Every structure is written in structure tokens, then in C-alpha cells.
DNA sequence: CCCAAACTTGAGGATGACCTCAACTTATCA
DNA sequence: TGATAAGTTGAGGTCATCCTCAAGTTTGGG
């Protein structure tokens, strides 16, 4: 355990986290740190005292929010119809991306030093495999769909969201609807391209 | 008509265009201009003499390449089967994105000052409407698919390509296959979200 | 061959982001 | 109420990119 912070320091830390959340949401995950310090009413030096790196700030800001936001896994599994559960899961995930620039980045990229964020993402998405399995066992979801394909879907959605969020913030729903029609088992035609391996997936997230 | 360039100036201009093509292809459209000057063996001042802006450089580099690259419109219309033609058109478009970072950017974004680029894109894609129409009239392509949806598809593909080109350069084909299965008329379920209006499309390209 | 116009050059100012650290301020505890 | 450890500050160094311009070089017509 580390020593507790002095009262003023704790207060500044709280203000920094609040400001970071706001700035990241609004300007994305590459927002300048000086902007966060400014908005927290604190000097840039203080920000670096509390959070030696951007990743450390991520680890302070996002795990809670991700844990809250990614709770739809259980909701999806609770759906009576497995296909509806799958659709709900994917739709919620995309909604998350659409509602918050920073989550859109985080779901899509990995930051090797933000270990707490990685863990929160992992926890949130580990239900995905169950949701997929269940829909496939019910014969609703095409059997060749994998977890890696879900990640690919979020990449696709990320760019659509980025392009349209200012002028047509729900446009992504249309692409998703087309895609979901192609994910039904009844629509499936054989696909040559194999799914990404876990290693490829991992490498792609670091881009 | 503007006066012809002096011989040395023309030569430098050629070297700059060649270097720009190489650098843009390799590093994308935001590559530093100084890198281009360096690779052309010319000073940064000369680059700015010839091309007062990045967009001017685009206009010199890309229209020819785009015109050549986007010729698959006729090829698609020549396919006996209208659905195969549509698939060929979309696949070629995505291949173009996958093969060249700069084209991936250009197909996806608009640069208001690069008028020649915009025109070349427009010319290349004006066949798209015919390809879509033909596939729809044949009852193969779902009737609610529009040109705007094709652009959305290229946004989606752009991000997938960007994420995977170093480690799994054909991964985009899998997402495209799933999506195409959803674009068949036989797979279509009603979609609530309306297509982007031309204005929304235009606005989104400027992001 | 010469000179005026055309062209090239690269140092350097502007910007915006990163990160550090020596000097200052404040909380806490005895 | 000090004394001291903890915390804050912001000017300023670093870096990468953009863009300009005064001084020098080259071309080509007369």
C-alpha cells in the first residue's frame, strides 16, 4: 500500500480525474494534457506529479466507467432469444463507441502501459464469447463468426462513428443493420478469409 | 495558360512529384513535407515554391493514379451477372484502400482545396450508381442500398485496413464477406435508420 | 558572353505538444 | 507553534512540423 496523499493533493487528484474524463470524452484520447491541467485549475507540473504518463491517467479514469458501461453482457445473456441477445450486445457496444470519443478509441486501441484499462476491457468483453456461443448453438448466428470478428466490427464502427458523429450521429446503425443481416446463419455463404489469430488481433490493437 | 517552367525547375518538380507519391504511399497523406523534399533531393523552400500547399501537391500526384485505379467501374458493368459485378466493384474499391495508405485516406476524406483530386474521385465513382442500380434491378442487391451506403462501407473498411495492414493485410476481406452476405436481397430485413443525405455525406467527408 | 529573370537554398521564426526541475508554498504532527 | 516532509508551480528545454524570405545560384535569350 502506498501512503495516503495529503488532503490538498488528494483534492487536486480528484479534480484532475474529473477534468481528464471531460476532456477525453470531448476531444478523444490524444487530447493535450495541458488542456486537462488547465481545466482542472492546476499546473501541468502537478498533473505530472500525480500521473507520470498518459497511461497512468487512463488507468485512473477509465476502469470504473468501463466496468459500468460494459455490463450489458449479462443483459444480453438474459434475453430469451439468443439472436436478440447477440444483437443487443453488439448494438450496446457500438452505442458506447458512438457516445464517447474516448471509449471509441479505447475499445479499438490498446495502450500497453494502461494495464487497468486492459483488464477492465477484458472483463467486460469476456461475456462476448458466451453471447456468441449461445447464438450459434441456437442456429441463429452464422457458425464461422468469432470473437476476433467482433473486434473487427468495432474497428469498422469506430471509423463510421468518427466520420458521422457531428452530422449524423446515428448513421452507424445502418451499417450495423446491413452487417447483422449478413451474420444470420440463414444468410451465410462460405468465406475464404480465415479469422484473425489471437496474435494478429493483439498486434492490430497496438496500432 | 501559365508560362512553362525553366528546365531545372521542371526537373525538380518531377522529382518532387515522384517523391511525394512514394512517401504518401508509405506513410500516408499526413507525411511531413520535409521528408518529401529530402527524398526528392531538393530543399523545403523549393517544394513550397512549386506547391504552395499540401493540397496542391495532392492535385499534382493523385488525379492520374486515381483515374487509372478507378477503372473497374466498366469492368463491373461488363460482368454478365449484375451481383458479381457489384461484388467486383466493391472488392476492387476495398483492394485499392488496402494497397495504398494514401488512397485509403483519399477515398475516405475530402480536402476542400484539392479540387482535381475531388474531381477524379467523382469521375471514378460515378459508375457506382449504375453498378448499384443494375444489381438492384436484377433483384440481387437489397433495394434499400444507396451510394451513401457504399461510402460508409469504405469508411468501415478504412479503419479495418489501417488496423491490420501490417500484420494481416487481407483481414478486411472477411468483414466484407459478412457484409456482402447482408447486402443480398434475400438476406434483407427492414432497416430503420435512413441513408445519409447528400449534405450529411459531404459534411462527413470533411472530417 | 552577359545579365535579368527565374529559381534554389536553408537558417530561422511560429506553433503546439511533451516533460523536467529548482524554487516556492502548504499541510501535518509533535 | 514551528519544522519538515509533501506538494505545487510555471518558465523553459526538447522535439517535430509548418512556412517564409533575403541572399545566393542558374538558365537562356539577346
- Could you tell me the distance in Å between the CA of residue A78 and the C1' of nucleotide D23? 77
Give nucleotides in strand C with any atom < 7 A to a protein C-beta: 6-12, 16-22, 26-28
Please state the separation of Cα B105 from the chain's center in Å.
7
Nearest CA among A3, A147, A127, A141 for reference residue A69: A127
- In the 50-69 segment of chain A, residues within 7 Å (Cβ) of strand D are 50
pLDDT score recorded for residue B93: 96
Q: Which CA distances in Å does A5 have to A8, A41, A92, A107?
A: 8, 19, 38, 31
Whether residue A30 contacts residue A58, with contact meaning beta carbons closer than 8 Å, is answered with: no
Report the C-alpha gap between A41 and A162 in whole angstroms: 30
Is residue B11 pLDDT above 90, yes or no? yes
pLDDT score recorded for residue A205: 87
Q: How far is A179 from chain B (nearest CA, A)?
A: 5
Is residue A132 pLDDT above 70, yes or no? yes
**Share of residues in chain B with pLDDT > 90 (%):** 87
- Mean pLDDT of the A108-125 span: 89
pLDDT band, very low/low/confident/very high, at A124 (cuts 50, 70, 90):
confident
pLDDT score recorded for residue A109: 86
Cβ <8 Å between B181 and A189: yes
- Mean pLDDT of the B179-198 span: 98
pLDDT band, very low/low/confident/very high, at A103 (cuts 50, 70, 90):
very high
User: What would the pLDDT profile of B59-96 be if each residue is shown by its tens digit?
Assistant: 999 999 999 999 999 999 999 999 999 999 999 999 99
User: What would the pLDDT profile of B143-154 be if each residue is shown by its tens digit?
Assistant: 999 999 999 999
Please state the separation of Cα A188 from the chain's center in Å.
27
In angstroms and rounded to an integer, the radius of gyration of the C-alpha atoms of chain A is: 19
User: What would the pLDDT profile of A1-32 be if each residue is shown by its tens digit?
Assistant: 577 899 999 999 999 999 999 999 999 999 99
Nearest CA among A194, A192, A86, A176 for reference residue A140: A86
pLDDT score recorded for residue B59: 97
Nearest CA among A38, A11, A2 for reference residue A22: A38
Report the C-alpha gap between A76 and A91 in whole angstroms: 10
Is residue B1 pLDDT above 70, yes or no? no
User: What would the pLDDT profile of B36-53 be if each residue is shown by its tens digit?
Assistant: 999 999 999 999 999 999
Nearest residue to nucleotide C16, by CA–C1' distance, is A32
Report the C-alpha gap between B140 and B90 in whole angstroms: 15
Name the least confident of A41-45, A122-126, A163-167, B27-31: A122-126
Is residue B108 pLDDT above 90, yes or no? no
Whether residue A124 contacts residue A130, with contact meaning beta carbons closer than 8 Å, is answered with: no
Cell of B149: 451506403
Looking at per-residue pLDDT, the higher value among B111 and A76 belongs to A76
Cβ <8 Å between B156 and A156: yes
Q: What is the SS3 assignment for chain A?
A: CCCCCCHHHHHHHHHHHHHHHHHHHHHCCCCCHHHHHHHHCCCHHHHHHHCCCHHHHHHHHHHHHHHHHCCHHHHHHHCCCHHHHHHHHHHHHHHHHHHCHHHHHHHHCCCCCCHHHHHHHHHHHHHHHHHHHHHHHCCCECCCCCHHHHHHHHHHHHHHHHHHCCCCCCCHHHHHHHHHHHHEHHHCCCCCCCCCCHHHHHHHHCC
Nearest CA among A116, A109, A120 for reference residue A30: A109
What average pLDDT does the structure give for chain A?
95
Report if CB A39 to strand D is under 7 Å: no
Is residue A50 pLDDT above 80, yes or no? yes
Report if CB A115 to strand D is under 7 Å: no
pLDDT score recorded for residue B22: 97
Q: Is B145 left (phi over 0), alpha (psi -120 to 50) or beta?
A: beta
> What domains appear along chain B, each with residue ranges and CATH number?
7-52 (1.10.10.60), 66-205 (1.10.357)
Report the C-alpha gap between B121 and B95 in whole angstroms: 16
Cβ <8 Å between B179 and A182: yes
- Could you tell me the distance in Å between the CA of residue B91 and the C1' of nucleotide D24? 54
Nearest CA among A76, A57, A196, A84 for reference residue A124: A76
User: Residue B47: which nucleotide is closest by CA–C1'?
Assistant: C8
- Could you tell me the distance in Å between the CA of residue A7 and the C1' of nucleotide C30? 19
pLDDT band, very low/low/confident/very high, at B207 (cuts 50, 70, 90):
low
pLDDT score recorded for residue A1: 59
- Mean pLDDT of the B156-185 span: 97
- Could you tell me the distance in Å between the CA of residue B46 and the C1' of nucleotide D26? 14
User: Residue B9: which nucleotide is closest by CA–C1'?
Assistant: C7
Whether residue A170 contacts residue B193, with contact meaning beta carbons closer than 8 Å, is answered with: yes
Amino acid at each position: 500500500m502506498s501512503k495516503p496523499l495529503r488532503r490538498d493533493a488528494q483534492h487536486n487528484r480528484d479534480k484532475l480525474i474529473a477534468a481528464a474524463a471531460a476532456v477525453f470524452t470531448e476531444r478523444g484520447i490524444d487530447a493535450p494534457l495541458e488542456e486537462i491541467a488547465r481545466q482542472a485549475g492546476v499546473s501541468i507540473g502537478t498533473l505530472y506529479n500525480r500521473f507520470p504518463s498518459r497511461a497512468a491517467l487512463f488507468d485512473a479514469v477509465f476502469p470504473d466507467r468501463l466496468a459500468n458501461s460494459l455490463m450489458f453482457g449479462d443483459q444480453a445473456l438474459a434475453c430469451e432469444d439468443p439472436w436478440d441477445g447477440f444483437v443487443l450486445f453488439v448494438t450496446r457496444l457500438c452505442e458506447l463507441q458512438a457516445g464517447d470519443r474516448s471509449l471509441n478509441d479505447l475499445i479499438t486501441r490498446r495502450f500497453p502501459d494502461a494495464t487497468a484499462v486492459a483488464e477492465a476491457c477484458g472483463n467486460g468483453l469476456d461475456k462476448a464469447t458466451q453471447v456468441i456461443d449461445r447464438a450459434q448453438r441456437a442456429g441463429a448466428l452464422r457458425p464461422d463468426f468469432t470473437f476476433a470478428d467482433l473486434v473487427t466490427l468495432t474497428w469498422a464502427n469506430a471509423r463510421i462513428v468518427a466520420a458521422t458523429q457531428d452530422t449524423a450521429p446515428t448513421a452507424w446503425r445502418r451499417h450495423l443493420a446491413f452487417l447483422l443481416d449478413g451474420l444470420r446463419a440463414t444468410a451465410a455463404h462460405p468465406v475464404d478469409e480465415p479469422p484473425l489469430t489471437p496474435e494478429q488481433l493483439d498486434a492490430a490493437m497496438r496500432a
